[in-house]
């Protein structure tokens, strides 16, 4: 390690800043935030520096005597000679000096920071790759939403009380872990600070009792892990146990906390596995053990995912829950196949329809679905392509309406088959389309011909037929 990282207490300490431009201004702002007394030396200074009463401005050239009483110094001029003189004077007096962006002349460097005070993260590459440091900072910025600062503030206020109640260090560590992974931080995230405070008080009171479990219903998206939300990622990393569908991609599961238990309760159309009642029971059992349960579902949990039913069950049993939406198959398949689901010239609305079974399709209002100028996104329809075609045509949709079948949308093995409504069943059969696949009906599907950008080019049913 080339530099020793530290956080300095500069409250009421004098810090010398040499330079009066925009760079100096940035450094001064930060120093003032940390409570430092700033002595600024420069013949020319910006209006903000000049007019700020908190800064002692010396409008004169730098002189080593300006170091008098300073614990740190920053050289922020664009004059190499002046910067070097500041560095030399600091070295002589054993005062640490940072020359902005010149590591060779600096005896300390200033990290990139993510500020969620009192939580502050400092990042440095030792001056070797500042752009990389900035990139890391951006990632952390997006990972740590504003609630982290509030959470840290809350713990700061409660620190003494927590220490009093739990004198044992490891008991205290366990308590903090539970608080940070559990309801308190969830409440802070939903901006309910009073609720978080109450929950923290309750948790502290029952600190020796078993912890209360909870469930996060998370949408895993269609497959591409890049389509997860930041909240989904966090839930996966906080989970004690994950109950997931078979539809959830391995790529997504690999982002979960390494030591979280995984239970596959997978259901795929046709191949029945764990019954819904049993899934509900499992959720309840796990949450009652005090665990943080993630119920992970393909796409969005509230779109043909039975998310609602599971939450109703949890609500009946008093288990607290949160929901993290995901990108549903229709949205993802449209985007990744180059099919805009609405388009001013072709479709003013889009419908998400389940075509799961003959039973469920029997209950659909086909007359409405067959109307022109709308897009249909049919989920779970692979086995019912013939029925979809017959019903739509019988109810008046033109047999020449363009359709698309998107198999494994957003995944590396995505396939898109284009055909007309009349050809839908034959096209599916010729291409041997497998689940998961989404059927899209409407003029917009023809746009895939020019707008496709991901994976292999769409296959045309006509070409498939010619090849056969």
Which parts of this chain interact with ligand SAH (CB under 6 A)?
A: 222-223, 247, 269, 297-300, 303-305, 328-329, 333, 379-380, 406, 408-411, 435-438
Nearest distance in Å: CB 232, ligand SAH: 13
Chain-centroid distance, C-alpha 216: 15
Residue 62 or 304 having the CB closest to ligand SAH:
304
CB 231 within 8 A of CB 144: no
Nearest distance in Å: CB 440, ligand SAH: 10
* DSSP symbol at 299: B
Would residue 371 show up in a list of annotated catalytic residues for this protein?
no
Per DSSP, the residues of 260-273 read -EEEE----SSS--
* Residue nearest to ligand SAH according to CB distances in the complex: 299
CB 262 within 8 A of CB 252: no
Nearest distance in Å: CB 366, ligand SAH: 19
Residue 67 or 304 having the CB closest to ligand SAH:
304
Nearest distance in Å: CB 51, ligand SAH: 56
Name residues whose C-beta falls within 8 Å of residue 127's C-beta, 6 or more positions apart in sequence. Answer: 103, 106, 109
CB 41 within 8 A of CB 60: yes
Residue 52 or 357 having the CB closest to ligand SAH:
357
Helices (H) and strands (E) in the chain, counts: 19, 18
C-alpha pair distances (Å), 420 with each of 340, 365, 395: 17, 21, 16
Interior angle at CA 402, CA 398 and CA 407, nearest 5: 135
Q: Check residue 222 and give left, alpha or beta (phi > 0: left; psi -120 to 50: alpha).
A: alpha
Collapsing DSSP to helix, strand or coil, 180 comes out as helix
Given 27, 224, 240, 245, the catalytic residue:
245
Angle, in degrees to the nearest 10, between helices 169-181 and 193-205: 140
Nearest distance in Å: CB 222, ligand SAH: 4
C-alpha pair distances (Å), 176 with each of 75, 89, 152, 252: 42, 47, 11, 28
Per DSSP, the residues of 325-390 read ----HHHHHHHHHT--S-BTTTBSEEEEEE---HHHHHTS-HHHHT-SSEEEEEET-GGGHHHHHH
Would residue 115 show up in a list of annotated catalytic residues for this protein?
no
Residue 125 or 360 having the CB closest to ligand SAH:
360
Q: How many CB atoms lie within 10 A of CB 230?
A: 12
Collapsing DSSP to helix, strand or coil, 234 comes out as helix
Residue 321 or 379 having the CB closest to ligand SAH:
379
Residue 211 or 297 having the CB closest to ligand SAH:
297
Helix (H) or strand (E) holding 216: strand 214-219
Residues making up the chain, counted from first to last: 468
Nearest distance in Å: CB 268, ligand SAH: 8
Q: Alpha helix locations (H) across 374-440?
A: 385-394, 424-430
Torsions phi, psi of 162, nearest 5? -65, -40
**Cα(309)–Cα(321) distance, integer angstroms:** 13
Tell me which residue of 341, 344, 324 sits closest to 333, measured CA to CA: 341
Tell me which residue of 269, 276, 330, 283 sits closest to 306, measured CA to CA: 276
Residue 144 or 447 having the CB closest to ligand SAH:
447
Nearest distance in Å: CB 166, ligand SAH: 42
Residue 58 or 306 having the CB closest to ligand SAH:
306
Residue 79 or 309 having the CB closest to ligand SAH:
309
Nearest distance in Å: CB 374, ligand SAH: 19
Nearest distance in Å: CB 461, ligand SAH: 18
Given 27, 224, 240, 267, the catalytic residue:
267
Residues catalogued as catalytic: 245, 267
């Amino acid at each position: 390690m080339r530099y020793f990282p530290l956080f300095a207490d500069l409250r009421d300490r004098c810090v010398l800043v040499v330079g009066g431009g925009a760079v100096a201004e940035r450094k001064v702002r930060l120093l003032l935030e940390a409570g430092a007394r700033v002595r600024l030396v420069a013949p020319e200074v910006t209006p903000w520096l000049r007019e700020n009463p908190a800064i002692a401005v010396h409008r004169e050239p730098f002189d080593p005597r300006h170091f008098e009483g300073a614990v740190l110094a920053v050289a922020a001029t664009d004059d190499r000679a002046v910067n070097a003189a500041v560095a030399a004077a600091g070295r002589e007096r054993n005062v640490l000096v940072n020359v902005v962006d010149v590591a060779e002349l600096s005896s300390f460097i200033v990290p990139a920071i993510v500020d969620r005070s009192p939580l502050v993260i400092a990042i440095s590459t030792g001056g070797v790759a500042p752009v990389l440091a900035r990139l890391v900072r951006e990632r952390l910025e997006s990972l740590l939403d504003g609630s982290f600062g509030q959470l840290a503030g809350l713990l700061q206020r409660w620190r003494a009380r927590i220490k009093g109640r739990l004198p044992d260090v490891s008991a205290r560590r366990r308590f903090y872990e539970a608080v940070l992974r559990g309801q308190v931080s969830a409440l802070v995230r939903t901006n309910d600070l009073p609720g978080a405070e109450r929950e923290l008080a309750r948790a502290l009171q029952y600190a020796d009792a078993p912890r209360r479990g909870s469930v996060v219903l998370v949408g895993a998206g269609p497959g591409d892990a890049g389509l997860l939300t930041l909240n989904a990622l966090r839930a996966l990393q906080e989970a004690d146990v994950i109950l997931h569908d078979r539809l959830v991609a391995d790529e997504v599961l690999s982002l979960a906390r390494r030591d979280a238990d995984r239970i596959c309760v997978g259901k795929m159309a046709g191949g029945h596995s764990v019954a819904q009642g049993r899934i509900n029971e499992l959720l309840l059992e796990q949450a009652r053990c005090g665990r943080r349960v993630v119920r992970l579902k393909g796409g969005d949990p509230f779109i043909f995912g039975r998310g609602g039913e599971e939450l109703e069950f949890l609500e009946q049993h008093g288990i607290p829950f949160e929901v993290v939406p995901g990108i549903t198959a229709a949205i993802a398949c449209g985007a990744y196949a180059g099919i805009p689901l609405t388009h001013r010239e072709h479709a003013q609305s889009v419908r998400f329809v389940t075509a799961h079974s003959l039973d469920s399709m029997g209950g659909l209002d086909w007359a409405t679905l067959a109307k022109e100028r709308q897009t249909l996104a049919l989920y779970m329809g692979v086995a019912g392509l013939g029925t979809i075609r017959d019903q739509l045509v019988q109810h008046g949709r033109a047999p020449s309406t363009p359709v698309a079948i998107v198999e494994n949308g957003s995944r590396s093995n995505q396939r898109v088959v284009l055909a007309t409504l009349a050809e839908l069943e034959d096209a599916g059969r010729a291409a041997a389309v497998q689940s998961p696949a989404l059927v899209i009906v409407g003029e917009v599907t023809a746009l895939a011909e020019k707008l496709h950008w991901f994976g292999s080019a769409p296959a045309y049913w006509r070409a498939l037929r010619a090849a056969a």
